[in-house]
Amino acid sequence: MTETSKPVLRFAPSPTGMLHIGGARTALFNWLYARHTGGTFLLRIEDTDRERSTPEAVAAILTGMRWMGLTWDGPEIYQAARAGRHREVAEAMLAAGRAYRCYARADELTSMREEQKKAGKPMRYDGRWRDRDASEAPPGAPFVVRLKAEIQGETIVHDLVLGEVRFANDQLDDMVLLRSDGTPTYMLAVVVDDHDMGVTHVIRGADHLNNAARQLQIIAAMGWPAPAYGHLPLINGPDGQKLSKRHGALSVEAYRDMGYLPETMRNYLLRLGWSHGDDEIISTDQAIQWFNPEAIGKSAARMDFKKLDNLNGHYIRATPDATLAGEATSFLERENPPRVLSEKARARLLMAMPSLKERAKTLVELVQGAEFLFTDGVRDLDAAAAKLLTPEARAGLAQTLTALAATDWTAAALEEAARKHAEGSGLKLGQVAQPLRAALTGKAASPPLFEMLALLGREESLIRLRAYAA
């Protein structure tokens, strides 16, 4: 395989908002395909809509891509900067008779569509300027340039995921290529840019399937080679409805802030619509090795947060302690206001990490579960802990304390002492341990008690325990 015959993929978001979850999946699939084949993955910012495109959105998309670990090759390409080239192509089509000037006013077309709708007819441009001579045009009137599309026959999209999709050409109208202000439309711009960038495979959302046929017409008019298309089924919200703001968690940033790991997102999004037998846990390396567009499913999938949580729990457990501690601290520092851990707190966090990470499904939970390690002193009790520390329990706690105070402050020695004490008092270990846990952590659930006592140290532990012993 020569360098030039390798696939060229691209992700082409329009910068009108955050990188959302659907876009992230599209980007992921393109990226995987490029990495799988040793091809190129390009990023093109489709900012031809000057009204709605913002630099903030561009920045958000780049940040999101980087967080997801989806690295693109070469500098990102800004579509608006290529308007001159787009116009050039439109002019060439005009000259070749594959496009024509349309002088219909916007309001004229709006009422045309209204009438078509009322009459139950398909809403399409009726070609009113298609065959008129330029001399009929009102002098100096604004015009758009439209494609003189093929009317007979059909346009076939050979789709990597959907198979052969046929569109009768008489169902497609003459789309606008150049607006009356001379700027290119999306339809023209994509085709020209994909061609100029050497894009060989266009993998995008299924909402573009209809556009594929129209773009193929432009490509045919220019006599260019067509890229292969692959249209990904859309992602729906948990209720099966279209994913919208109502469901929250639209942007990848939102997922980051909810404490999900990038590797979780890659695995989850990949499995949403793609499969490799019964495999569920798929590392990014494996994904690159296995990815094939033929295995992409055809039907829309729903977001399932329970499964996301479960996967995230897996990746949290699989992350090395030091790395995870680093993630957790920077997560805290991203909070508003930022929380910065003391040296001591960091050391405790790292030491407790093996126990902590087994209990957390998200970074949020991880940090919450580690709360009692971050600061010194007597704990405030949450509801469940308060319920545990009844007057009887507090009295028992005082007795346990005396038993513990005499031992070495190691997890093993503490546990042995506690067991002995429980046995001597005719209690189960749990009855002794729960009040201890409540006083030590302020919660009814925590990592293993004796480990935590040892980790906190004799002095700090006794301060916390004595506060609730009666």
Task: State in angstroms the smallest separation of the CB of 293 from RNA.
Answer: 12
State the Cα–Cα distance between residues 369 and 447, nearest whole angstrom. Answer: 8
Choose, by CB under 7 A, the member of 58, 364, 413, 429 that binds RNA. Answer: 429
Task: State in angstroms the smallest separation of the CB of 275 from RNA.
Answer: 4
Q: Which stretch binds RNA (CB under 7 A): 34-42, 255-263, 341-349, 445-453?
A: 445-453
Nearest-Å Rg of the Cα atoms of the chain is: 31
Residue 194 touches RNA, criterion: CB under 7 A: no
- Letter for the amino acid at 378? V
Residue 285 touches RNA, criterion: CB under 7 A: no
Per CB under 7 A, contacts with RNA among 19-78 are: 46, 48-49, 52
Beta bridge pairs of residue 242: 236
Per CB under 7 A, contacts with RNA among 313-372 are: 313-314, 317, 358-359
Mark 295-320 as b/e (b = at least 16 C-beta within 10 Å).
ebeeebbebeeeebbebbbbbbeebe
Task: State in angstroms the smallest separation of the CB of 55 from RNA.
Answer: 16
Per CB under 7 A, contacts with RNA among 172-191 are: 173, 176, 179-181, 185-187
Distances (CA, A) of 65 to 75, 268, 348: 13, 16, 33
List 6, 118, 121, 245, catalytic entry: 245
Task: State in angstroms the smallest separation of the CB of 410 from RNA.
Answer: 13
CB closer to RNA, 317 vs 339: 317
CB closer to RNA, 7 vs 15: 15
Which contiguous run of DSSP H or E holds residue 195? helix 186-196
Is 245 part of the annotated catalytic residue set? Answer: yes
State the Cα–Cα distance between residues 185 and 177, nearest whole angstrom. Answer: 5
State the Cα–Cα distance between residues 101 and 422, nearest whole angstrom. Answer: 92
Say if residues 97 and 148 touch (Cβ distance below 8 Å).
yes
CB closer to RNA, 26 vs 185: 185
Query: 6: Cβ–Cβ under 8 A, 6 or more apart, which residues?
Result: 37, 38, 39, 40
Per CB under 7 A, contacts with RNA among 366-405 are: none
State the Cα–Cα distance between residues 465 and 449, nearest whole angstrom. Answer: 12
Residue 247 touches RNA, criterion: CB under 7 A: no
Backbone angles phi, psi at 155, to 5 degrees: -110, 125
Per CB under 7 A, contacts with RNA among 69-128 are: 79, 104-106, 109, 113, 117, 120-125
Q: Which stretch binds RNA (CB under 7 A): 23-31, 55-63, 201-209, 394-402?
A: 201-209
> How are the residues of the chain apportioned to helix, strand and coil, as percentages rounded to the nearest 5?
55, 10, 35
Size of the site for RNA (CB under 7 A): 86
Task: State in angstroms the smallest separation of the CB of 430 from RNA.
Answer: 4
| Catalytically annotated residues | 245
